[in-house]
Amino acid sequence: MFALSANAQEFPQGKWEVMTQTIMPHLTTPIPAHKDIICVNDKNKERPPIAVHESCEFSSYKIVGNDASWQMKCKGELNMNGAGRIIFSTDEYKGSAIVKMKMPQSEPMEIDHTYIGKRIGDCK
């Protein structure tokens, strides 16, 4: 399902539909999964194809074969940092990230995100 040539070192460009499920500890009601549309093109190919707040920055983004991994840090009220990984093919991916977050007047918490992406066409 996720076979690619070992030489592939770039995430496939195009329009991606990404379902993100967020799991936060101590919540009695699960957070509904949400869908985002991400365009991967020359402008943003140096970052993972996931939706994040504009205050978040990525570092150590690397692709080895069909395995992409990264570190992230968000500033301001979000004050989060974490790491993620996805395994991809030319038209789909699955992955996850673990983010540590500290909000004012709260204890630090660890948040799990899972991602399922599907390429749905070309960016316009």
Residue 46 lies in a domain: yes
6 falls within a domain: no
In a domain, 40, yes or no: yes
| pLDDT value for 1 | 42
Q: DSSP E strands: which ranges in 41-108?
A: 56-64, 67-74, 80-88, 92-101
CA distances from 119 to 33, 88, 109 (A): 18, 10, 32
In a domain, 4, yes or no: no
Residue 23 placed within a domain: yes
Our count of domains for the chain comes to 1
pLDDT of residue 4: 43
Query: What is the domain-level CATH number for residue 94?
Result: 2.40.128
Give the pLDDT confidence of 5-40 residue by residue, as tens digits. 444 478 999 999 999 999 988 777 888 999 999 999
Task: Evaluate whether residue 41 is within a structural domain.
Answer: yes
Statement: residue 110 has pLDDT above 50: yes
The token pair that represents 99 in the structure block:
């983010």
